[in-house]
C-alpha cells in the first residue's frame, strides 16, 4: 500500500468519524469531525473510509506480540525470556481470559469489521466516475471483514459457539450482539464474503506500487481455500487452491531464503502479508522481526527476545534441508548484523536458538530509519512478514488431495525440491505434516492451529521442550482437547456486554 500513503489513514470511532493527526502516521490536520450523514458523499470520502480499515494493522498486538502468543503455544517455540503472562498463555492456564496481551485481539478485529461494514453500507450509493474502482473499494471491505472473522473464528469458535456476527445493517446498533451458534455459522459468512471479494477485486499485478498491500483476487481465493481446509471441506479447499494455482499469477521463488527479504516483499510467492515499514517515523506495521530479535540486540537495537525455536523444531529438519539454516540460527552460525559478519550466540535466549527468517532488515549497515524503525519500542522493519504465501496454497492442495484418497506427490515434491530434498513416493499425511512444519516454522501459518485441527495437540504438548544443549526449557503441558481447542474470549468483552457475550466452555 506504500503506506497508502499512510497520510490518508483516518480513525473511525463509534458511529462517527474522527480524522486524527496521529504523529506516527498522518500528515493532515483535521478541521472538522464529520458525522456519518455528512460524510460518504464523494469518491474522496470513500477512499478515506476504505483506508481507515487498515489503521489497526499498526497495533502492537495485531500482527506483533499479541497475535503470536497464540502460535507460541506450539512445540516449535518458547516464550524466549521470562514473562508470566506469556507463560500462562502457553500453558493454557485458567488466568488466560484476563491476559492483557490478548484483550486487543478481539477488539481490534471488530474495529476493522465495523469500518468494513461502513464501507459496504455507504460506498454503493456514492457516485463514481470509475465503477471498477468503486467495486474494488467494496471488494476490499468484504475481504477484510472476512479475514477478521476468519482469524476470530479459528481462535475462538468451535461447534459449541462461534463469534458475534456484526453485519453492515448492525453497525449503528448499540446493543451487544451474542455469539453465533457455532463456528459453522461464522464460516458460512466468511466464505460468502471472500466469494464476493474475489468477484470484485482485481489481480495483484494490475496494482501500481502505491496500492501494494491492498486485497486482490487470488488472496481472496487463497483464504477461501484455507477456510475450507479448516472446515475439513476437502473438495472446496482443493478447488480454490486450484483457482490460485491455475491463475498463473504465482510461483515459488527458486531459493527459500529469498522469500524473507525486503526486495522480495511483492514477488510471485506473495499472496498476503503484514505490510510494514521501517522508514516511517516511529515505524509502521508488524513488529514481529524486532520481537524475535535477541533481547537488546547485542547492544545495537532493542530486540525483545521472544519466540525462540526449540530443539524439537531444529531436529525435525532432514539433513540437507536448506530451510533449516534459513529458518533458525544456532550457536556458531555466521550471519550479517548491522553490516558486519557476526557469529551467532545468545546472551539470554531461553532456547539458545533464534529465528532467522526475519533477520534480513537487520543485516544492512546502519539500517535504522530505512530498513528498521528508529523506535525500538515499536520495532517494525521493511520486511513484510508473510501471513499466507503461495507455498501454503500448494500444501493446502496436497493436504486436501490426501484427505480425499488422492496421490499428492507432485505438490509435496514441489516444496521439497526447493528445499534441496529428494522426491517422496506415495506420501501420506505424516509427510504432509512434516512439510508444513518445516516450511512455515515461525510464521502465521500457525503450527498450534495445525496440531489442534489434526488432533495431534494433546500428544505433542505432553512432551517437554528442549534447548540447544538438550536441557528441558519447557515442561510437558496438560492440553485438554475439549477446552483448549479454542482460546478464551477476553473477560473484558464478557463484562462490558453484561454477559451477552459468553465464555468458551471450560475457560
The angle formed by the CA atoms of residues 224, 358 and 65, to the nearest 5 degrees, is 70
pLDDT attached to residue 12: 39
Instruction: List b or e across 381-393, with b for residues whose CB sees 16 or more CB atoms inside 10 angstroms.
Output: bbbbbbbbbbbbb
Per-residue cell: 209: 506500487
396 touches 402 (CB < 8 A): no
Taking domain 1-12+38-201+465-507, whether its CATH number is 3.20.20.10 is answered by no
Residues 305, 294 contacting (CB under 8 angstroms): yes
Question: Residue 13: its pLDDT value, please?
Answer: 34
CA 383 to the chain's CA centroid: 14
**Greatest Cα-to-Cα distance within the chain, rounded to the nearest angstrom:** 66
| CA nearest to 436, candidates 398, 402, 395 | 395
pTM: 0.94
User: Can you give the pLDDT at residue 171?
Assistant: 73
Computed over its alpha carbons, how large is the radius of gyration of the chain? Answer: 22
For 262-317, give the DSSP string. GGGTTSTTEEEE---BSSSTT-BS--HHHHHS-GGGGGTS------EEPHHHHHHS
pLDDT tens for each residue of 485-496:
999 999 999 999
Regions of the chain with pLDDT less than 50: 1, 3, 6-33
Distance CA 280, CA 24 (A): 7
**Chain position carrying cell 495445525:** 450
- Position 423 scores a pLDDT of 98
- Assigned C-alpha cell, 323: 530451510
Beta strand 354-355 pairing with 386-389: unpaired
Report, in this order, helix, strand and coil percent for the chain, each rounded to 5. 45, 10, 45
H-type alpha helices, 72-182: 84-90, 100-122, 131-156
pLDDT at site 475 = 97
CB hemisphere CA count around 104 (13 angstroms): 16
Would you list the domain boundaries of the chain?
A: 1-12+38-201+465-507, 288-383
Strand (E) or helix (H) holding 185: helix 183-200
Query: Distance between CA 230 and CA 191 in Å, rounded?
Result: 12
Report DSSP letters for 303-322, one per residue.
-----EEPHHHHHHSPTT-H
Q: How high is the pLDDT of residue 34?
A: 52
End-to-end CA gap in the chain: 39
Q: Which three cell numbers stand for residue 385?
A: 512478514
Amino acid at each position: 500500500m506504500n503506506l497508502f500513503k499512510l497520510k490518508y489513514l483516518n480513525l473511525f470511532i463509534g458511529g462517527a468519524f474522527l480524522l486524527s493527526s496521529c504523529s506516527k502516521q498522518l500528515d493532515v490536520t483535521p478541521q472538522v469531525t464529520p458525522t456519518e450523514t455528512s460524510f460518504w458523499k464523494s469518491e474522496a470520502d470513500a477512499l478515506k473510509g476504505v483506508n481507515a480499515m487498515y489503521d489497526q494493522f499498526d497495533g502492537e498486538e495485531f500482527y506483533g506480540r499479541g497475535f503470536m502468543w497464540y502460535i507460541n503455544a506450539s512445540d516449535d517455540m518458547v516464550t524466549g525470556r521470562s514473562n508470566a503472562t506469556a507463560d500462562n498463555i502457553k500453558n493454557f492456564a485458567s488466568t488466560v481470559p484476563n491476559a492483557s496481551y490478548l484483550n486487543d485481539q478481539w477488539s481490534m478485529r471488530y474495529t476493522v469489521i465495523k469500518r468494513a461494514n461502513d464501507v459496504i453500507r455507504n460506498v454503493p450509493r456514492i457516485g463514481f466516475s470509475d465503477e471498477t474502482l468503486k467495486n474494488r473499494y467494496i471488494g476490499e471491505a468484504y475481504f477484510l471483514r472476512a479475514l477478521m472473522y476468519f482469524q476470530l473464528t479459528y481462535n475462538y469458535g468451535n461447534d459449541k459457539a462461534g463469534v458475534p456476527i456484526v453485519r453492515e445493517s448492525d453497525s449503528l446498533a448499540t446493543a451487544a450482539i451474542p455469539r453465533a451458534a457455532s463456528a459453522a455459522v461464522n464460516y458460512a459468512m466468511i466464505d460468502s464474503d471472500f466469494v464476493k471479494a474475489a468477484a470484485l477485486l482485481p489481480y495483484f499485478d494490475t496494482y501500481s506500487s502505491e496500492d501494494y498491500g491492498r486485497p486482490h483476487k487470488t488472496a481472496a481465493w487463497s483464504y477461501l481455500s484455507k477456510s475450507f481446509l479448516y472446515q475439513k471441506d476437502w473438495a472446496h479447499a482443493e478447488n480454490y487452491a486450484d483457482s490460485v494455482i491455475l491463475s498463473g499469477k504465482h510461483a515459488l521463488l527458486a531459493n527459500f531464503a529469498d522469500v524473507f527479504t525486503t526486495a522480495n516483499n511483492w514477488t510471485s510467492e506473495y499472496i498476503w502479508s503484514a505490510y510494514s515499514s521501517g522508514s516511517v517515523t516511529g515505524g509502521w506495521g508488524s513488529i514481529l522481526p524486532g520481537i524475535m530479535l535477541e533481547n537488546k540486540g547485542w547492544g545495537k537495537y532493542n530486540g525483545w527476545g521472544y519466540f525462540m525455536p526449540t530443539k524439537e523444531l531444529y531436529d525435525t529438519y532432514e539433513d540437507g534441508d536448506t530451510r533449516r539454516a534459513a529458518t533458525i540460527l544456532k550457536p556458531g552460525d555466521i550471519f550479517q548484523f548491522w553490516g558486519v559478519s557476526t557469529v551467532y550466540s545468545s546472551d539470554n535466549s531461553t532456547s539458545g536458538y533464534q529465528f532467522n527468517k526475519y533477520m534480513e532488515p537487520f543485516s544492512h549497515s546502519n539500517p535504522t530509519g530505512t530498513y528498521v524503525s528508529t523506535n525500538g519500542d515499536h520495532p517494525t522493519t521493511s520486511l513484510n512478514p508473510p501471513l499466507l504465501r503461495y507455498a501454503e496454497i500448494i500444501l493446502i492442495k496436497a493436504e486436501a488431495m490426501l484427505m480425499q484418497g488422492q496421490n499428492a506427490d507432485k505438490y509435496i515434491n514441489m516444496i521439497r525440491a526447493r528445499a534441496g530434498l529428494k522426491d517422496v513416493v506415495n506420501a501420506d499425511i505424516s509427510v504432509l505434516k512434516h512439510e508444513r512444519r518445516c516450511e512455515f516454522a515461525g510464521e502465521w501459518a500457525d503450527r498450534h492451529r495445525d496440531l489442534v485441527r489434526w488432533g495431534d495437540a494433546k500428544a505433542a504438548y505432553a512432551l517437554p521442550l528442549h534447548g540447544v544443549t538438550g536441557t528441558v526449557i519447557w515442561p510437558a503441558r496438560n492440553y485438554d482437547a475439549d477446552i483448549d481447542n479454542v482460546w478464551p474470549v477476553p473477560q473484558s468483552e464478557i463484562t462490558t456486554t453484561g454477559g451477552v457475550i459468553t465464555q468458551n466452555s471450560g475457560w
